[in-house]
Structure 1
Amino acid sequence: MATMEECRTALDTLSDNMKRANDDVRGAVAQDRSLSCRITDLDTTFEGRLKDGRIEVTDTHRGPPRGRAQIRLAMTSDDLVSMVGGELHFAKAWASGRVHLEAGFRDLLRLRTLL
């Protein structure tokens, strides 16, 4: 099981990677949306915004998300670290149920380039 610090570092790395991404991916993440990432095995949620192609974490707390973010992710700490490290492909993890993604239809269409 990864630590809270490893998860926070993984989110920061993901944010940096998104900012440097190609035009298709950059366009998908350029939106301004509320975001939550629930780390199930640590019973912790990172909440913030997807803004200007970056993830801005504004709150970290125990338990489930406090509000209903427009984009909601849930996964284990190891899966988060593995995905950001390139060892686990997001689409395969999502298709197998290891990663849960909930968002509105319009957001899912924009985010499809990430899959």
Structure 2
Amino acid sequence: MSSIDACLDGFALINRRILERSRQERERRIDERTVAVVVPDLDTTFRLRLTVEGLTDLRHHPTGVVHDPVQITVTVSSDDLVAIAEDQLSAKFALVTRRVKVSASLGDMLRMRSLAQ
């Protein structure tokens, strides 16, 4: 099991990859969304905003604490989150094998798919 700090480092890596893309490409592929990443093995939920400026407003709290609704919910183990962030696990493979579960609108799912490419 990875730690909360390792997950936060993972989010920093993911953010860096997002920001490596040109601003024009980010504007084309990203619509601002509120996201919750539920990590059951840590009993923690990370909440953030996905924007053309990258991942912003990242914070975490114990799972089950009631907050405003989000547009996308991702459920993933801490080890898989870190492995995806470090490019040791393909996000597409993790999704297909149900190691990652996503609850989002169809439009959001298609946009997320284009970001993973």
Q: TM-score, normalised by structure 1?
A: 0.87
TM-aligned CA distance change 1:95 to 1:53, over 3 Å: farther
Equivalent residue number for residue 110 of structure 2 = 109
- 3-state SS of paired residue (1:19): helix
Cα distance, 1:109 vs. partner?
Answer: 1.8
Matched residue pairs, number? 114
Equivalent residue number for residue 98 of structure 1 = 99
Cα distance, 1:25 vs. partner?
Answer: 6.3
Ranges in structure 1 where 5+ consecutive residues have no aligned partner: none
1:31/1:51 contact within 8 Å kept: yes
Cα distance, 1:21 vs. partner?
Answer: 2.6
**RMSD of Structure 2 on Structure 1 (CA):** 2.0
Q: Distance in 1 between matches of 2:21 and 2:45?
A: 25
Q: Distance in 1 between matches of 2:7 and 2:25?
A: 22
Equivalent residue number for residue 2 of structure 2 = 2
Equivalent residue number for residue 45 of structure 2 = 45
TM-aligned CA distance change 1:54 to 1:31, over 3 Å: same
> After TM superposition, what 4+ stretches of structure 1 lie above 2 angstroms from structure 2?
21-28, 64-68
Ranges in structure 2 where 5+ consecutive residues have no aligned partner: none
Q: TM-score, normalised by structure 2?
A: 0.86
**Percent identity for Structure 1 against Structure 2:** 25
Show the 5 A alignment for 1:1-115.
Answer: 1-21=1-21, 26=26, 27-28=28-29, 30-64=30-64, 66=66, 67-113=68-114, 114=116
